[in-house]
Amino acid sequence: MADTLMTRDAMQTLAKRILALSSADETRVNISSDAAGNTRFAAGDITTSGDTEDTVISITSTVGGRRASSTTNLMDDASLKRAVDTAERLARLSPQDPELVPELGPQQYQNVDASNADVSDLNAASRAHAVEQLLIAARAPGGAMPIDPATLFVAGFLEARSGARGVATSKGLFAYHASTDVSLSCTARTPDGTGSGYASAGGRAWTAVDPGALGRRAAQKALASRNPVAIEPGRYTVILEPRAVADFIPGLMGSLNARSADEGRSAFSRKGGGTKLGEKIVDERITMLSDPFDPDLRGQPFDSDGLPLKRVVWIENGVLKNLAYSRFWAAKKGVEPTGGGGGGFGRNPAGLKLAGGTKSVDELIAGTDRGVLVTHFFYIRSLDQRTVLLTGLTRDGTFLIENGKITKSIKNFRWNDSPLLSLARLADIGKAEPVEAGLVMPSLKINDFTFSSLSDAV
């Protein structure tokens, strides 16, 4: 494609061009340049496949203590000038921002090598080839084959993305980071509609993905999950595979916002005022952190303000060690900002890792008298922010464990539980593994997980 990823020099040149057009007190330019290819498949066919490219420029202007932004993907001089003028005009028309924090000057960044050429080289033909490998493996998965696996309905999605992010300010800051990420997931369904299995993998490099292994795994799960039986909803010991943990545990991140906690509207607000910082909130085997320099995460070493991101341990040995501070709230409280705007909704650009133990999922199963094995979750929504209570459903491979073995396929459940309360009921912790780019999660064994009702969905 023509818009190949912007290099550091090209991005810096573009940022300078934009800053030269500005007459605001302070200006920040955020640039993102992306080239992506995707291939979607179902029923053994590729259903859609596409290559896209875009560069998006966001200009944030500050005039007399007022701030606003404009965004464009047009890069001719007239369009850039118009975008700068728009941001400045909007800023002038906005009320003064009492929480305005000045833009940053030059910062020191440690480079993170997060790009792999094998991802940027993944064109439509090589993606189609990978899909074909996955389908071939799904049709001959090995293991017990109660029905002809060639009749499985297989659907999935492969996406490869190369991106570059840049930040520049009128005070001399410039930050640049390039990264790649790739993911492949698939769902196999039995023709009678009673069995479904899912598998996925992803990372910064294509070597993180083995299409054949994913096809086999999804097919085996689909075959093993046929004709599920209903067991009573209630409280069960669960073993969550890493993908299920990745669906569930990051739901905590929104509650880590320091300001919400200080304001009394978070699970980490302490009754009577203050926060739970320093208190033991979950099992002592739990440590969760963000760190762009962790080789398993290879995250972005700065946030959208250009603030360098560092290793932040949110929970260490079960104790709440850090909350997420925006630059404004950090200054008000006299602490270091953690970056990322102090948010937590969405993904921290530095990545997220829940440290694991040494056991495999099979070992966790072997150590369980009675429990439920969960492949992944679906449609998770918040029920109560006070306890981070969430609801969702199990999906694509839910099994009963009895006496250390998987004994039967069971119907899916709706659950109502909280990642915070669950981590306090931790029974065991498995090996951590990369689930997708910038996200490392272990399998977890949790006691008394609340399944509230049965779902007929397969």
Partner 1 sequence: MTSRRDFLKTAAIGAVAAAGTSRIARSESLLDPWSSHTGDPMANEIALAAIQAAKDAGASYSDARVGRYRRQFIAAREHQITGVNDSESFGIGVRALVNGAWGFAATRDVSREGAVRVAQQAVKVARAARAVTRTPVVLAPTPAVKGSWRTPVQQDPIDIPIEDKVALLLAANEAALKVPGVRFANSGLALLREEKTLATTDGTLITQTFVRVGPSFTVTAIGDGDFQSYTEEMAPRGSGWEYITSLDMVGNAPKWAAIAAEKLTAKSVDVGRYDLILDPTNLWLTIHESVGHPTELDRARGYEANYAGTSFVAPPEKMIGKLKYGSRLMNIQADRVQQDSLSRCAWDDEGVAAESWLLIKDGMFHDYQTVRDQAPAIASLNGVNHSHGCSFADSWDTVQFQRMPNVSLLPGNADTTIDDIIADTDRGIVIKNRGSWSIDQQRYNFQFSGQVFYEVRKGKITGMLKDVAYQARTPDFWGSMDMIGGKRSYWLGGTFSDGKGEPGQASSVSHGCVPARFRQVNIINTARSV
Looking only at residues 131 through 150 of this chain, which bind partner 1 when binding is defined by CB under 8 A? 131-132, 135
One residue of 391, 426, 433, 447 binding partner 1 per CB under 8 A: 391
- 3-class SS of residue 337: coil
The answer to whether 271 touches 279, Cβ cutoff 8 Å, is no
Residues in region 187-226 near partner 1 by CB under 8 A: 187, 189, 193, 196, 198
Least distance to partner 1 from the beta carbon of 215, Å?
Answer: 12
First-to-last alpha carbon distance for the chain, in angstroms, is: 40
* Residue 284 neighbours by CB under 8 Å, 6+ apart: 317, 318
d(CA 229, CA 232): 10
Binding to partner 1 by CB under 8 A, coded x per residue (else -) over 405-424, reads -------x-x-x-x-xx---
Report the chain's C-alpha Rg in angstroms. Answer: 24
Nearer to partner 1, 72 or 287 (CB): 72
Least distance to partner 1 from the beta carbon of 431, Å?
Answer: 26
If we measure between CA atoms, which residue out of 300, 301, 311 comes closest to residue 353? Answer: 311
Residues in region 368-387 near partner 1 by CB under 8 A: 378-387
* Residue 20 neighbours by CB under 8 Å, 6+ apart: none
Q: How many CB atoms lie within 10 A of CB 224?
A: 17
Least distance to partner 1 from the beta carbon of 351, Å?
Answer: 17
Least distance to partner 1 from the beta carbon of 420, Å?
Answer: 7
If we measure between CA atoms, which residue out of 327, 355, 353, 359 comes closest to residue 340? Answer: 327
If we measure between CA atoms, which residue out of 53, 43, 171 comes closest to residue 104? Answer: 171
457 binds partner 1 (CB under 8 A): yes
Least distance to partner 1 from the beta carbon of 188, Å?
Answer: 9
Least distance to partner 1 from the beta carbon of 147, Å?
Answer: 17
Nearer to partner 1, 109 or 302 (CB): 302
Give the type of residue at 18: I
Give me the torsion for CA of 118, 123, 124, 127, rounded to 10°: 0
Residues in region 71-110 near partner 1 by CB under 8 A: 71-74, 76, 78-79, 82-83, 85-87, 89-91, 93-95, 97-99
Residues in region 3-22 near partner 1 by CB under 8 A: 3
Residues in region 115-134 near partner 1 by CB under 8 A: 123-125, 127-128, 131-132
Residues in region 222-281 near partner 1 by CB under 8 A: 263-265, 267, 271-272
Orientation angle between helical segments 8-20 and 77-93, nearest 10 degrees: 60
Residues in region 36-75 near partner 1 by CB under 8 A: 36, 38-56, 58, 67-74
